[in-house]
Amino acid sequence: MKNVNQLYLNQIKIKNTNWSKTYFDDKRKNKIRSMSRKFFLKLLKRNTDKNYHTDNALLIAFRYGNRGHQLTALEIYREHTEKGHLEYLAGQCRFYLLKCIIQDDAKIWECL
């Protein structure tokens, strides 16, 4: 995973500036972390039904991931929203990011 992430981040030259600080402040992060698991899984299912897969990756990163996971998810989300589509390498990075964070949690994988 590290190689894919590094390749992806090098390609897009990660911009860890005000965008990431303002988009997901501590209040939003705490809200994501404090919601019940049942509600969180329903939210993931609802997002999957609407094809909001990158949003799910962002939510999972902020709930279960470390700072590096969160920054990677934010950068994927930023690029996806700016371009209006997800490029192949970003999609692969998103997949391996989720695989690294949630590993073998079957309940979450069922929701994706």
- Give the tens place of pLDDT for each residue, 61-98: 988 888 888 888 888 888 888 888 888 988 888 888 88
Range of the domain at 50: 2-7+34-111
How far is 109 from 112, CA to CA, in rounded Å? Answer: 5
Inside any domain, residue 15: no
Inside any domain, residue 21: no
User: What mean pLDDT is reported for the chain?
Assistant: 77
Inside any domain, residue 12: no
The distance in angstroms from the start CA to the end CA of the chain is 19
Residue 15 pLDDT: 45
How far is 111 from 40, CA to CA, in rounded Å? Answer: 10
Inside any domain, residue 43: yes
Nearest residue to 20 (alpha-carbon basis) of 89, 53, 69, 56: 69
Inside any domain, residue 17: no
Inside any domain, residue 16: no
Q: How much is the pTM?
A: 0.75
Quote the DSSP letter at residue 51.
T
What's the structural domain count of the chain?
Answer: 1
pLDDT digits (tens, 9 = 90+) for 19-49: 445 456 677 777 888 888 888 888 888 888 8
